[in-house]
């Protein structure tokens, strides 16, 4: 058998197995796995290296305007390059609807923006205006194109669609086999806290963390799960940042609810003290939900270890520490006017490898599951996230021993800071392939602008979890009313 590339002599790691062997690649696909394979136009020596499915970044804001119109610092070129240097072979950023905009327009806009990507991509659709046309025509059309995840917000006045809007989206998603993602924080609790803090003249960056209580996340997760259960729709909770929120996810999974969730490196690595710095330096660490405390970090790590989360995602939301980003609304501004988000797409895998695998908190196989395989399964990316014949040759080859300090230059993004600056990291992705093409090799970019392809995704797999039938929607218990979606 002829191969374009053979990856030779590495330790092959998937979400379920670890073995020694070679991988044969032809036409962008893995075509053979064996103890030893001959030939290959190109042979990559992976002796002493870990050969894993390339990361799939399932939460990133790329070339996306915030609801207040601030464009993030990374476009699809810089964002995809940064992702690849961080060990990712593909990503699923958001395509955001602004109120009044049609979903068809949103997709056309993002297709243009994404054309420069060096790695494969899809989009999660952010829906902020669920009109009848959106629900009945536009979302089903997006779904047919392979966009099988819709994200909604329970907070921010410009984005929050209310409980009724959420029920509508959940119902449409369920009918088509899409999954609904949710930013779960209670809008009114946050607004009430903002008013109290403003009245007391407490507006420095650190009060951002105080303004968004843990209870706001816990309440909203609980409510989101109840809404999803009422219509028996699968739900994905993004960026879980609290022990209470994670506990709800764990409890509901145990009960069989079709529930999925992620947390992010910043909630495992950083605490709210980072916001308490002289002047406006704390603005670098303004993200929502906010950074929490050391106790929460420990609890979140336990949930990572025990399977509460499908993924650890970056929530890369890059706003530079200047007037184009964090200070778009002025320099000496109260915390609610600081652009909300932090970068991390290149740091996600190295952080989790170093703090997770090297420190013995998770196994290598769990690392692969949390960074790649589970995202592929949850979001219907059928040809990625594994090492098997027939899969895309999306592969990251790691040196597990190199130690370095995280620094801005290693991120390869358009940012002027990294929140992980100075962190000691062990392990580096040395070679990253997307569909058989080398994108990054020993610190050098080899991929070309525009080389990435849109990946149409499959419907969500409903075989996981038992689902839920509310008594009031069950004709055998609701006087025969047939109103279930």
- 386 binding ligand DUC? (CB under 6 A): no
Chosen from ligand DUC, Zn ion, none, partner binding at 366 (C-beta under 5 to 8 Å by type)? none
Tell me whether residue 321 or residue 456 sits nearer to ligand DUC (CB atom).
321
Least gap, CB of 103 to ligand DUC (angstroms): 19
Distance, in Å, from the CA atom of 210 to the CA atom of 200, rounded to the nearest integer, reads: 13
The three-point CA angle 394-307-185 to 5° equals 95
At its nearest, how many Å lie between Zn ion and the CB of residue 61? 5
**Does position 194 bind ligand DUC by CB under 6 A?**
no
The answer to whether residues 398 and 364 touch, using CB atoms and an 8 Å cutoff, is no
Minimal CB distance to Zn ion: which residue? 183
CA distances from 92 to 53, 163, 315 (A): 16, 26, 11
Instruction: Please state the closest distance from residue 155 (CB atom) to ligand DUC, in A.
Output: 7
Work out how close the CB of 464 gets to ligand DUC at its nearest, in angstroms, rounded to a whole number. Answer: 24
Q: Which residues bind Zn ion (CB under 5 A)?
A: 183, 315
Q: State the minimum distance, in angstroms, from the CB of residue 316 to ligand DUC.
A: 9
Candidates 138, 296, 340, 411: give the one binding ligand DUC (CB under 6 A): 340
Q: Mask 114-133, x = binds ligand DUC (CB under 6 A)?
A: --------------------
Nearer to Zn ion, 7 or 264 (CB): 264
Residue 341 in contact with ligand DUC, rule: CB under 6 A: yes
Q: Which is nearer to ligand DUC, 61 or 208 (CB)?
A: 61
In the complex, least distance from residue 5 CB atom to Zn ion, rounded to whole angstroms: 35
With CB under 6 A as the contact rule, the residue among 7, 182, 197, 317 that binds ligand DUC is 317
Write the binding mask 55 to 84 for ligand DUC: x where contact by CB under 6 A, - elsewhere. Answer: ------x-----------------------
**Minimum distance of Zn ion from residue 472's CB (angstroms):** 31
CB of 238 to ligand DUC, least distance (A): 6
Write down the least CB distance from residue 239 to ligand DUC, Å. Answer: 6
Q: What is the 3-state secondary structure (H, E, C) of the chain?
A: CCCCEEEEEEEEECCCCEEEEEEEEECCEEEEEECCCCCCCEEEECCCCEEEECEEEEEECCCCECCCCCECCCCHHHHHHHHHHCCEEEEEEEEECCCCCCHHHHHHHHHHHHCCCCCEECCEEECCCCCHHHHHHHHHHHHHCCCCEEEEECCCCCCECHHHHHHHHHHHHHHHCCEEEEECCCHHHHHHHHHHHHHCCCCCCCHHHHHCCHHHHHHHHHHHHHHHHHCCCCEEECCCCCHHHHHHHHHHHHCCCCEEEEECHHHHHCCHHHHCCCCCHHHHHCCCCCCCCHHHHHHHHHHHHHCCCCEECCCECCCCCCCCCCCCCCCCCCHHHCCCCECCCCCHHHHHHHHHHHCCCCCHHHHHHHHHHHHHHHCCCCCCCCCCCCCECCEEEEEEEEEEECCHHHHCCCCCCCCCCCCEEEEEEEEEEECCEEEEECCEECCCCCCCCECCCCCCCCCCCCCCCCHHHCCCCCCCCCCCC
Using rule CB under 6 A, residue 183 touches ligand DUC? yes
Distance from the Cα of residue 73 to its chain's centroid: 17
Interface with ligand DUC (CB under 6 A), residue total: 9
Q: Is 318 in the site for ligand DUC (CB under 6 A)?
A: no
Which positions from 238 through 257 interact with ligand DUC, judged by CB under 6 A? 238-239
The yes or no reply on residue 315 touching ligand DUC (CB under 6 A) is yes
Member of 128, 288, 297, 354 binding ligand DUC (CB under 6 A): 288
Choose the one of ligand DUC, Zn ion, none that binds residue 340, judging by a C-beta under 5 to 8 angstroms depending on kind: ligand DUC
Residue closer to ligand DUC, measured from CB, 205 or 341: 341
The answer to whether residue 216 forms part of the interface with ligand DUC (CB under 6 A) is no
* Residue number with CB closer to ligand DUC (238 or 391): 238
Least Å distance between CB 317 and Zn ion? 5
Residues contributing to the site for ligand DUC (CB under 6 A): 61, 183, 238-239, 288, 315, 317, 340-341
């Amino acid at each position: 058998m002829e191969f374009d590339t053979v990856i030779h002599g590495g330790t092959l790691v998937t979400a379920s197995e670890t073995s020694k062997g070679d991988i044969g690649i032809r036409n962008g696909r893995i075509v053979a796995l064996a103890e030893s394979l001959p030939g290959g136009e190109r042979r990559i020596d992976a002796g002493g290296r870990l050969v894993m499915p390339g990361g799939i970044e399932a939460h990133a804001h790329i070339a996306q305007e915030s609801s207040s119109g601030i464009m993030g610092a990374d476009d699809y070129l810089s964002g995809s390059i940064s992702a690849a240097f961080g060990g990712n072979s593909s990503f699923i950023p958001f395509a955001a609807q602004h109120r009044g905009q049609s979903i068809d327009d949103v997709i056309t806009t993002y297709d243009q923006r994404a054309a420069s990507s060096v790695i494969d991509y899809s989009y999660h659709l952010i829906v902020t205006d669920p009109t009848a046309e959106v629900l009945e025509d536009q979302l089903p059309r997006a779904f047919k194109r392979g966009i099988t995840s819709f994200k909604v917000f329970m907070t921010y006045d410009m984005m929050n669609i209310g409980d009724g809007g959420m029920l509508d989206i959940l119902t449409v998603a369920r009918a088509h086999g899409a999954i609904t993602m949710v930013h779960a924080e209670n809008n009114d609790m946050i607004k009430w806290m903002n008013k109290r803090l403003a009245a007391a003249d407490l507006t420095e960056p650190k009060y951002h963390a105080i303004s968004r209580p843990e209870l706001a996340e816990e309440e909203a997760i609980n409510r989101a799960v109840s809404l999803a259960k009422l219509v028996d729709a699968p739900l994905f909770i993004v960026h879980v940042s609290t022990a209470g929120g994670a506990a709800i996810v764990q409890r509901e999974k145990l009960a069989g609810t079709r529930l999925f969730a992620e947390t992010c490196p910043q909630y495992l690595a950083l605490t709210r003290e980072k916001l308490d710095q002289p002047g406006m330096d704390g603005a670098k660490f303004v993200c929502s939900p906010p950074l929490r405390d050391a106790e929460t970090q420990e609890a979140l790590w336990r949930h990572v270890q025990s399977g509460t989360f499908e993924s650890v995602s970056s929530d890369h939301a890059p706003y530079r520490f200047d007037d184009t980003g964090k200070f778009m609304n002025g320099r000496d501004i109260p915390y609610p006017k600081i652009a909300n988000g932090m970068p991390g797409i290149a740091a996600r895998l190295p952080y989790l490898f170093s703090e997770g695998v090297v420190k013995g908190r998770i196994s290598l196989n769990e690392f692969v599951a949390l960074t790649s395989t589970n995202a592929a399964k949850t979001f219907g990316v059928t040809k990625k996230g594994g090492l098997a014949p027939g899969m895309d040759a999306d592969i990251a080859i790691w040196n597990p021993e190199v130690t370095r300090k995280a620094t801005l230059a290693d991120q390869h993004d358009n940012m002027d800071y990294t929140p992980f600056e100075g962190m000691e990291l062990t392990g580096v992705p040395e070679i990253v392939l997307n569909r058989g093409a080398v994108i990054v090799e020993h610190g050098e970019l080899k991929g070309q602008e525009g080389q990435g392809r849109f990946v149409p995704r499959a419907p969500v797999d409903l075989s996981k979890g038992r689902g839920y039938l509310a008594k009031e929607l069950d004709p055998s218990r609701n006087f025969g009313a047939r109103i279930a979606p």
